[in-house]
Amino acid sequence: MTQIWRGILFFLAAWAVIPNMDVAAKLLGQWGYPVVMVVWGRFAFSLLILSPALLTRRRDIFRPPAEAGKHVLRGLLLVAATIGFFMGLKTMALADALATYFVYPFLVTALSPLFLGEHPGWRRWTAVGFGFLGSLIVIRPSLEGLPMGTVYVLGAAVMFAGYNLLTRGLSAQDDPWRTLAFQSIVGFIVMSVALPMFWQAPDAAAFGLFCVLGIAATLGHYLLIRAYGLAPASVLAPFAYVEIIIATTLGYLVFGDFPDIWTWAGVSVIAASGIVIAIRERRAPSDTQA
């Protein structure tokens, strides 16, 4: 039980940090910087932040990890998820984009028996299902189709679900720092290929935002890796909804985006699903099938 709760705390800390990356990305997009360049900056600055400490203290970190092919796939899924989400942010409010994005915990829970051998019970299924319902309230799909921003974010959610499943599967096999460094290297290489076609020299303010991208991405994803090394993906998934609360606050403070009543209703349902899981974990510490 102690290990599971440590994993949950790492997970909550990660989702308190990562929305700062989204705010920086949205601002850069509003300032006219191409999404490809913003995504490149997310990985390049993350690698730049990691390199000095790791090269002086842990040079072995940059050796290829075990099962390098799965690590490459994991990095590619993260690149695709980042591109899709940043594309969606160009036209969507931060809270709406994240609430839409949070169909991914449902996908993680649905696929965890197949890919991870984890078997969440009906209580966790119910809680995650309510979280998914909350996302649908925010998305409000219609017969006329979805806006392109929503389509981009939903595609990103599928990619991020795959990333989370691979993270859980690999977290026990490798050093978290090696896992983090390798995903940054993969993202940097892939995005550097396309960068020359989209390069735009950043001014001082944009450079500062690129630094925020790197710091938030590095710290946030390290915390995610640690979390998945301590607790099952199906237990952690509903707690990711706390990111929406942080993002809603930041979206209002930075962009003046105040969610409408439907978004608030959806976010409330989403947050409640995480609370149900927390209560269940406290009352039934030995029941891994709950």
Its domain, for residue 201, covers 2-283
The answer to whether residue 138 is domain-embedded is yes
On whether residue 290 sits in a domain, the answer given is no
d(CA 167, CA 12): 16
In DSSP notation, 107-157 reads HHHHHHHHHH-----HHHHHHHHHHHHHHHHHH---TT---HHHHHHHHHH
Residues 286 and 260: their CA atoms lie apart, in Å, by 41
Average pLDDT, the chain: 82
Has residue 200 been placed in a domain?
yes
Residue 140 lies in a domain: yes
Cα–Cα–Cα angle for 103, 238, 101, rounded to 5 degrees: 25
- The one-letter amino acid code at 226 reads R
In whole angstroms, how far apart are CA 231 and each of 103, 139, 190, 234? 20, 30, 31, 9
pLDDT over threshold 50, residue 6: yes
What is the average per-residue pLDDT within 19-31? Answer: 94
Please compute the mean of the pLDDT values over residues 5-12 and round it to a whole number: 90
Mean pLDDT of 142-156: 83
| In a domain? residue 268 | yes
- d(C-alpha 4, C-alpha 52), whole Å: 32
Domain count, the chain: 1
Distances (CA, A) of 116 to 10, 112, 137, 256: 20, 5, 30, 41
Q: How confident is the model at residue 285 (pLDDT cuts 50, 70, 90)?
A: very low
Structure tokens that stand for 40 in this block? 């490149």
| pLDDT (0 to 100) of residue 55 | 67
- Helix or strand or coil: residue 189? helix
Quote the DSSP letter at residue 64. P
288 within a domain of the structure (yes/no): no
| pLDDT confidence of residue 49 | 83
In a domain? residue 289: no
pLDDT digits over 165-178, tens only? 888 777 666 667 77
Residue 67 has pLDDT above 80, yes or no: no
Is residue 30 in a domain? Answer: yes
Better pLDDT: 115 or 147: 147
140: phi then psi, degrees, rounded to nearest 5: 50, 65
| Per-residue pLDDT tens digits for 245-258 | 888 889 889 998 87
The CA R_g of the chain, rounded to the nearest whole Å, is 18
Per-residue pLDDT, averaged over 58-75, amounts to: 76
3-state class percentages of the chain: helix first, strand second, coil last, to nearest 5: 80, 0, 20
Q: How confident is the model at residue 275 (pLDDT cuts 50, 70, 90)?
A: low
